[in-house]
Structure formats: structure tokens, C-alpha cells
Amino acid sequence: MSATDLSAGNGTDAEAAHPRPVVAVVLVAAGSGQRLGYGMPKARVPLGGEPILMHALRGIVASGVAQQVCIALPAGDGALRRMCDDFRNELVDGGPLLTVVDGGATRSESVRSALAVLEEGTQAVLVHDAARALTPESVFHRVVDSLAAGALAVIPVMPVVDTVKTVKATSGNDARIAPELVVGTAPREQLRAVQTPQGFDLDTLLRAHGAVSGFDEEQGAAITDDAMLVERLGVPVHAVRGASQSLKITTPLDLIIAEGLLEGPLGARWVEG
């Protein structure tokens, strides 16, 4: 994608022009949260007094885009299952169908576990990280509006603030100087940091994940998002504006930032859609 104004369009016109598809949200929450280092699965880690999973779930339901939410949880985690059951009971009539599955050893496997139990009639899927617990409703709407307008794949993105370089490990004499050597500098105005929810036409995403069965272990481990599988099919992947609040809570610093977003003075003055 070349440099564009990511702030263009709020989706309202698109919503009016195109009927929305029947959407299921796959919420992947089966990770162990190693880098957060909290000693429990990340979905259970408290944020503003509530587990991260609950923030993610409430955000999805509040957006109103989903007919079904399918949550991949760490296998055998009774506490998180009970949390989902309680939340299901909290939902008033008209809320989405809530389904829970055991996740897999990798994020990609967790996505496939959830895709296997989607309701008949589902037309589009949004794959969302529970770790992006504070994603604003507006991002869900931008993604679904783009699907409604004809995209088979669409991802929320943010401009990159750092200059990004490619490097390789050094050897021999170079290794005595520094561990890595710069190979090149990517043009920053063309780079985007990728977030979730990533939206797909259901058949396209199933086809993309179908190809994974032929992957070796290294290829399997390198799947960091769903869009890259769709790119391999040659299907165009569209990009809409993400949001800073959609940060993926990965490290202890991210958790501090997320707490700050919830409680800090910025909360009331936050203007970014």
C-alpha cells in the first residue's frame, strides 16, 4: 500500500450503501501469555479490575457486528469457561450466540478450532486477538463496512512511527563488532503495523487455512496473522485505519499503557476513532 490518508472515511456511507454480511467473530484467547509473565493465561490477567478476556468480549458485543462470537480458550481452563458461561447469561435477548472451543498449540490452530464450529449461514469472519482488549467499536465497523463493500479480506493498520530496517546475523569478524548487520531500510511511508480484527469472506479464509496442512513446522510457526495466508492465495487484502487503543497487550509495559488508557486523564479526552 502506498502512502495514503488513513484518516479518510468513517464507514457511515459504506454502511448505508451495502447490506452487512452475517458475521462471526473468532476471538483467540488460548495463548499462555509468556511475555506478559503474569503466571497465568493472558486472558485471565486483570486489567482495570476485570480479566482481559472480558474487556475483549464486551467490546465485540458492544460493536453489534457479530451474530456469533466463537472464543478459543486454553484447553481445560475451567475458570475462563465459567467466565464465558456467566457472560452468556448476562447477555440480553438479541446478543450474539456465544460458542467456546479449546484452542490449539499455536494461534493459527486456535483459529482453525473456532472456524470448525461456526454456524451455518455465516458469510464473513472477523478474527480478533483477545490481547487487543481495548479495540474501539469504530474499528470493527470499518472492517465490516469494507467487507460489505466487496472486500474478501481486510485488515486494520496503523502508520509506523519507527524507521524499520532489515538485518542479518553476523559471523566471523563482523560478529566481534556487533551481533547483527543492517541489510536495508524499508520506506516507512509504505509500511503499516497490522492489528486485528481482520475480516474475511468465510470461504476465502477457510481456503487459506486449508493450505496450512501442507506446511512444515517452521512455516507453521511463521504464521503470525491470517491475512498472510490469504495473501498466499493471491487474494487482495485491503487495509483500513486501526486505532492506537488496539495495542496488543504483550509485555508488562503494554499492560501499564492499557491500564492508563482505562483510568488515566487521557481517557476522557481521547479523540481517536
Q: How many CA atoms lie within 13 A of 120 on its CB side?
A: 0
Q: Cell 511463521 appears where?
A: 222
Instruction: Indicate the residue type of 208.
Output: A
Interface with ligand CTP, residue 227, by CB under 6 A: no
| Site map (CB under 6 A) of ligand CTP, residues 82-111, x = contact | ---------------------xxxxx--x-
Q: Please pick, from the candidates 11, 25, 129, 208, the single residue that binds ligand CTP as defined by CB under 6 A.
A: 129
Whole-number minimum distance, CB 272 to Mg ion, in Å? 26
Whole-number minimum distance, CB 259 to Mg ion, in Å? 21
C-alpha span between 248 and 265 (Å, rounded) = 21
Binding partner of residue 32 among Mg ion, ligand CTP, none, CB under 5 to 8 Å per kind?
ligand CTP
Whole-number minimum distance, CB 130 to ligand CTP, in Å? 4
Task: Output 31 or 156, the one with its CB closest to ligand CTP.
Answer: 31
Interface with ligand CTP, residue 250, by CB under 6 A: yes
By CB under 6 A, what part of segment 12-41 binds ligand CTP?
A: 28-35
| Site map (CB under 5 A) of Mg ion, residues 26-55, x = contact | -----x------------------------
- Residues contacting ligand CTP: total by CB under 6 A: 21
| Residue 44 per-residue DSSP state | G
Q: In DSSP terms, which residues pair with 168 in a beta bridge?
A: 181
Interface with ligand CTP, residue 221, by CB under 6 A: no
Whole-number minimum distance, CB 249 to ligand CTP, in Å? 7
By CB under 5 A, what part of segment 119-158 binds Mg ion?
A: none
Q: What is the CA radius of gyration of the chain?
A: 19
C-alpha span between 191 and 189 (Å, rounded) = 6
Burial 19-31 (b: 16+ CB within 10 A, else e): ebbebbbbbbbbb
What is the longest distance spanned by two Cα atoms in the chain?
A: 68
How many residues can be counted in the chain?
A: 273
> 112 is written with which cell numbers?
482453525
Handedness of CA 58, 62, 157, 163 (dihedral sign): negative
Q: Which chain residues interact with Mg ion by CB under 5 A?
A: 31
Q: Which chain residues interact with ligand CTP by CB under 6 A?
A: 28-35, 42, 72, 103-107, 110, 129-131, 248, 250
